[in-house]
Structure 1
Amino acid sequence: MYTFLASFTVQPEHRSDFVEVALKTGRDSLANEPGSEAFTVVADEADPNRFYLNETYADEAAFQAHAEGAYFKAFFAEASQYAEGPTWLMRGNVLSQPA
């Protein structure tokens, strides 16, 4: 699995706009993009203007397909008007151990 954590800093008057578009992107991606496995929107407890997206894909190719797709493009078309980011905090492949 390929996963990442990215942060965005949002203009205070657009916090609810960011949450709405991020949640919509997650719903649409999970429902319609093969290989999309998890899409979590997290509000920073110390900074109300900072949000994190934690996403997981079957592999890096599935993430690249997402990044080239309509939902990703629509998210950035809107969010870039009032949010700075992404700041990539972590990207990589999940390592698992035998049970």
Structure 2
Amino acid sequence: MIAVIMHFRTKPDKTERFVELATQLQADVRANEPDTLHFQILRSPEDPNVFAFYETFRDRAAQKAHAQMPYHVAMSDEGWSCIDGDVDIRSFDLLGEPHVKGVHA
């Protein structure tokens, strides 16, 4: 299993549009990607323009498929245009079993 954590800041004038896009993406992923085991968008309580994505995939094939889903591709250009500066993206292998109820390797 692979976990991906993305950390970034949005442009203040684009933050609410980003929230709309990301919320729809989260719903689409959860409804259509059984091999995306966990997809959560986080927002900083101290700074409303700071976000993180936490994603867990069954394997690298699921990670690759996720990025190619039509709804993901459709929102990507506009979503990326909302980002201010660099995005910190890191991939990790999970140690042991994931702590997600009902999900096993």
**Shift, 1:44, TM fit:** 2.0
The residue that corresponds to 1:92 in the other structure is 92
Ranges in structure 2 where 5+ consecutive residues have no aligned partner: 98-105
**Shift, 1:46, TM fit:** 3.5
Percent sequence identity over matched residues?
30
Q: What letter matches 2:52 in structure 1?
A: Y
After the TM superposition, list the runs of 4 or more consecutive aligned residues in structure 1 that deviate by more than 4 angstroms.
Answer: none
For residues 19-75 of structure 1, give each alpha carbon's deviation from its aligned partner in whole angstroms, at most 9, with x where no partner exists.
Answer: 121121111012112301111111123332111111111111101111122122123
The residue that corresponds to 1:45 in the other structure is 45
TM-score of the superposition, structure 2-length normalised?
0.79
Which has a greater percent of strand? 1
The residue that corresponds to 2:3 in the other structure is 3
Counterparts of 1:3 and 1:76, CA distance in 2:
20
The residue that corresponds to 2:32 in the other structure is 32
Counterparts of 1:14 and 1:34, CA distance in 2:
30
Ranges in structure 1 where 5+ consecutive residues have no aligned partner: none
Cα root mean square deviation, aligned:
1.7
TM-score of the superposition, structure 1-length normalised?
0.83
Q: How many residues align?
A: 96
The residue that corresponds to 1:60 in the other structure is 60
